[in-house]
Amino acid sequence: MITESEATRATDRSVRTSPRVTVVIPAFRAANFIAEALDSVCAQTFTDFEIIVVNDVSPDTEELERVLTRYRDRVTYLKRERNGGPGAARNTAILAARGEYVALLDADDYWDPAFLAEQMAFFDRHPDVSLVYSDASWFADGSRAVVGTLMTHAPSRGEPTFERLTRQECTVGTSAVVVRRDAVVNAGLFDPDIGNYSEDFDLYLRIAKSGARLAYQRKLLVHHRVHPDSLSAAPLQLQQGALRVLRKTAARADLTPGEREDIARTAARIEAEFNLRRARMALSRRDFREALEATEAAHAFYRTWKVKAIMLGLRLFPGLLLRIDRLRGLTARRRAFGS
């Protein structure tokens, strides 16, 4: 085990025989899941890779290290000296990486055995591409029931350019990404100041804006676990993170008028979606005043009869609206899990 600074000093890319791919896995409260992630990497049909696991000052370090002993011959294990979030942990691994490409995998996700083979074959066919992502499914922890996929929930349309990323016409799933290491370094690595939400979105925007080409495959090759500690289980924070990224991006001096307009329009839509979600959460805890306030804020963007009807219901029949919302939520969950 070595520290972050020691790892950076120890890396000599010119002397060692380099693997083609470095698999980067940040670990924070990951002891319960990381074995499945590592098993999926070790089972890859493409074998020219190294694995770097970065402990981001995790509270379950003792258990995590006990799990990692089974992989001591396959894994380079680094420990950060202070917690910095998943972006900072990935940066630690990327700076120590020997591979020409970096494959990003969260510790609670796993890959199909053909993931790396399919992604690297794509690079071989398209040498001008710097980043490629695949389709990914979501499944509930404790169940293998698929609750959705990236390409059905947020299908990518056209080439993932800077403009399409800002308009969210193309959405990148991080555990589905393989990217050229130099493209990440040239873009400035992950920005730890973004926080734990949407730091990946920020990086992909900067890579695209640098002129690098991004692409995707519709093949389902990745599986993302949803559990209470996963970042995807916090939709409000994810939306707030996306807004932080868009505001940061809007401050760039090299944007065209069209790009600024796209960013402003997307930010307004996300803020409206955030307010609708906030309204529903307030309704569930019977805070009808906040629910109405949030719905009114969303209506300023949507201006639809449905949102107006919700506002009217919150003013006149909030208890009835709560019962209807709970019934709809129960029905949606039953459909999602096939019951």
Residue 30 region, left (φ>0) first, then alpha (ψ -120 to 50), else beta?
Answer: alpha
Amino acid of residue 61: T
How far is Cα 311 from Cα 228, in angstroms, rounded to an integer?
31
How far is Cα 260 from Cα 94, in angstroms, rounded to an integer?
31
Nearest to 153 by CA among 140, 167, 139, 136: 136
pLDDT reported for residue 324: 65
Full 3-state SS string of 65-87: HHHHHHHCCCEEEEECCCCCHHH
Q: Considering the domain 2-233 in this protein, what is its CATH number?
A: 3.90.550.10
Amino acid of residue 94: I
pLDDT less than 70: residues of the chain: 1-16, 142-145, 227-234, 321, 324-339
How far is Cα 258 from Cα 317, in angstroms, rounded to an integer?
43
As given in the structure block, the two tokens for residue 282 are 């307030």
- Find out whether 242 and 205 touch, Cβ atoms under 8 Å: no
pLDDT reported for residue 331: 37
pLDDT reported for residue 235: 73
| Strand duo 129-140 + 213-226: pairing | parallel
User: pLDDT digits over 143-177, tens only?
Assistant: 666 778 999 989 999 999 999 999 999 999 999 99
Full 3-state SS string of 288-321: HHHHHHHHHHHHHHHCCHHHHHHHHHHHHCHHHH
Nearest to 262 by CA among 191, 209, 221: 209
Q: Is 318 helix (H, G, I), strand (E, B) or coil?
A: helix
Nearest to 97 by CA among 155, 181, 222: 181
Cα-based angle 86, 213, 226 (whole degrees, multiple of 5): 35
pLDDT reported for residue 306: 81
pLDDT reported for residue 5: 46
pTM, 2 dp: 0.84
As given in the structure block, the two tokens for residue 118 are 């399919």
Other C-beta atoms closer than 10 Å to the C-beta of 128 total 8
Residues listed for the chain: 339
